[in-house]
Amino acid sequence: MIDLHTHSLLSDGELLPIELARRAKVNGYTILGISDHVDITTIENVAASILKIKNYAELHEGLTIVPGCELTHCPARQIGELTVLARKLGFAYVVVHGETIAEPVEEGTNAAAIEAGVDILAHPGLITEKEVEDAMNRGVLLEISARKGHSLTNGHVARFARSIGAKLILNTDAHSPSDLITDEQGLRVVRGAGLDIEDFGDMQKNARALVRKIITG
């Protein structure tokens, strides 16, 4: 399993980053991205902490740990500058907390994230056809979410992405150990979105390609 959207105690997760990594490995993960929630008030502090994990990249043999961040409930007009700041601070990749129907995310967040060229647009809710087209053109991965609430619009996202050709990624948005999933559970989520085993494989390939790009620079 490759999962690039998880949270630790550095934001609202239950586990220390290293314990999260250990539990992910035991669950069969090969690549784990830790992308704690940040905004303008916390982004520098979280960077100072999570980026230390680079010194322990081989701590859990067989598991690649990638430090990212998730811009969360940030004003849409700030997303561009915060994306630039996140990359400058050294985060390996940038996720934006998309317009899920489970939370009152500011309208325009999806479009702003895509325009900023973030790496992953998480749980984009009732994303528009134009936004999906823009995501395809800008290489932004659209998330199929395993998380309760956020997953309600997986079918909508999958349908547009498949018809337009935008790339998808499967993530858990894990906040606790019980949120981590196996490949088998991930495949069920994908099938629940109206997709199939080939799509699941493509999502894992898309995640692997992003990590390869990060590692090789």
Please name which of 216, 128, 172 lies closest in space to residue 28, comparing C-alpha atoms. 172
Phi, then psi, of 171 in degrees rounded to 5: -135, 160
Superfamily of segment(s) 2-216:
Metal-dependent hydrolases (3.20.20.140)
Residues of the chain where predicted confidence (pLDDT) is lower than 70: 57-58
For 82, counting Cβ atoms within 10 Å of its Cβ (0-12 exposed, 13-18 middle, 19+ buried), the class is buried
**Where do the domains of the chain lie?**
2-216
d(C-alpha 86, C-alpha 108), whole Å: 20
d(C-alpha 181, C-alpha 186), whole Å: 6
Kind and range of the H or E element at 142? strand 141-145
74 in Cβ contact with 46 (< 8 Å): no
pLDDT, residue 217, reads: 72
Kind and range of the H or E element at 205? helix 197-216
